[in-house]
Chain A
């Protein structure tokens, strides 16, 4: 008998022949977060900053300048275009001038870069979580992992309130990375230290819709 047949057989023995249909799971927990509108963005900012990540807010027209400001903040003003690599599908108008675009190079070569810039698929306000889904705009997983600084551009329509709302928007067949702040450890005396193997710096550029009626 194969191991597969044997393990499945053991499960059937353990559960017995008279199995009852499991009861329907009551999903009476909150599906949506009560906060909406501008306050939802405030919640996201509050939660992301709580992880000691930086958030820069801007209007759609100011994204390139804000991304540059984010890189200035993370890398110091003297960074060169070659230090930064962007996701291949990142909107053309968001890319800092002269930056390298990720291509088919071996992933480990990304370790030489100081920073990467990507979009996100979804941002979850309640937990301050950005989700990258491996799409061209988010890039492959190594892109948001190896450079020591990650800049994520989030648009207001990508922000949802709760974890259930966030997961509902995602495709589970894609390789997903949920990012909540910079990499961190609490392995020494349970004291949180930001920055271990993943990017030590996380900057979120939050693109807000222009305010209507001033």
Chain B
């Protein structure tokens, strides 16, 4: 059996990437352009700075108390690599086990197909609305829009997702989608959008959380259909896992008659025992807790307990194209903890919206371009100073900086026509490969001192790309002679 290539879809090794026109993997601006606006938003900067420094501190404390953290990380990485190497077999086993326990497994090539499957399943129940557990996969494919287009009401139940939904906003963080909003802004959204909300609602986080509890309580109790994602799915037992904090997940996974879980194919793990690693790595990296308040697991359908109809939708949407890249496939190891976002100096300043995808931050900068094809998100691999803080905290040790560099090369090598930058880098490479040419090039650079007219720094107004530097930083006037020249003159060769 070979993969067929849909016409005109961007492909890698003949494997289709996530289709355009559906879902939330592509922004309408390049990263530098989107970031420029975000950087000017002082309130956003303050909110992000406060939130990320808080979570960084919590994570550091609970990770430091685990003496075998590095061994757990190594095991997590190895488990993921081993799983990917046999991904087809594990998915087939998962399908067998889920089916044997009363679940129904569906396969979706892409976002459109997954949306069609879920919409059809919901409509078949006759329910007018669905409650949702926070899920990156359904955000990625734009499921809410698809369900709403079919005339269904969709209620996000995670507090942060609710804030985003009520504020008609977009999520900006994997774990805390409303991280860009502070308490006062959230109070304003609730006061404006929640029917019958207490007019005396204050911005105390406890009061705000209680307002959400009240708002959603009745919806949970009447819900007939729920849609969730999954953090892990155990192939050998067919056990699905949702890791959460608020109990909204438990409400959705327990009370409705029908549960539909949409899961990226990379979320499978081979054995139950593998969770002993991930359930230690994930909460400490994610919310900075020893364990998250609630983890729910279920295998198919349990008579008398929870939904009696269970559907599992296995989603590709570009994941197999990522898998085909031997360097980039490590991005599929991600367990969506968001520790890399919280330590990233770029994310902390620009926020998640600048990335234009539901996957922001360092992991988004390597995942989104691979899911869509690098040319559809070409600015993202460059949205990093390569400082390496993300790699250091990643609980499954994804070498994000190396993959960023790899994707930059993919982008450069994908250019059909020569670019000005490409010509300049090729010329510089040629000079740096031949000492004689290099010394000539250095002499030419040294001529830069002529424009400084005796001042220690070059003028601020210089043509691009140097202007990118001199707009905010002085550039010292180049010396008349290089070090190697001076040394050789003094000491001989």
Contact = CB atoms under 8 A, between A and B. Distances in A.
A and B touch in the complex (CB under 8 A): yes
A27 interface: yes
Interface residues of A, number: 73
Interface in A128-149: 128-129, 134, 140-142, 145
A183 B306 contact: no
A15 B68 contact: no
Contacts of B213: 195-197
A13 B1 CA distance: 9
Contact of A13 (B14, B209, B272, B276): B14
Contacts of A141: 250, 253-254, 296, 305-306
B86 interface: yes
Nearest to B314: A7
B88 interface: yes
A15 to B, nearest CB: 7
Interface string A2-17: 1111111111111100
Given A141-B305, A178-B295, A197 B254 contact: no
Nearest to B290: A127
Contacts of A164: 273, 276
B4 interface: yes
A186 interface: yes
Contacts of A19: 85-86
Nearest to B101: A173
A191 interface: yes
A172 interface: yes
A53 to B, nearest CB: 10
B234 A10 contact: no
B129 to A, nearest CB: 16
A28 interface: yes
Contacts of B280: 29, 163
B250 A197 contact: yes
Given A129-B291, A182-B293, A186-B55, 7 more contacts: A7-B91, A19-B85, A23-B81, A30-B68, A186-B287, A189-B51, A198-B247
Interface of B: 1-4, 13-16, 47, 50-51, 54-55, 58, 67-68, 71-72, 74-75, 78-79, 81-82, 84-88, 91-92, 95, 101, 106-109, 113, 157-160, 163, 176, 178-179, 182-183, 186, 205-206, 208-210, 212-213, 216-217, 220-221, 234, 237, 239, 245-248, 250-251, 253-255, 265, 272-273, 275-277, 279-280, 283, 287, 289-299, 302, 304-306, 314, 316, 320-321, 323-324, 329
List 6 tightest A-B contacts by C-beta distance, closest first. Answer: A198-B247, A22-B82, A197-B247, A10-B320, A14-B324, A127-B291
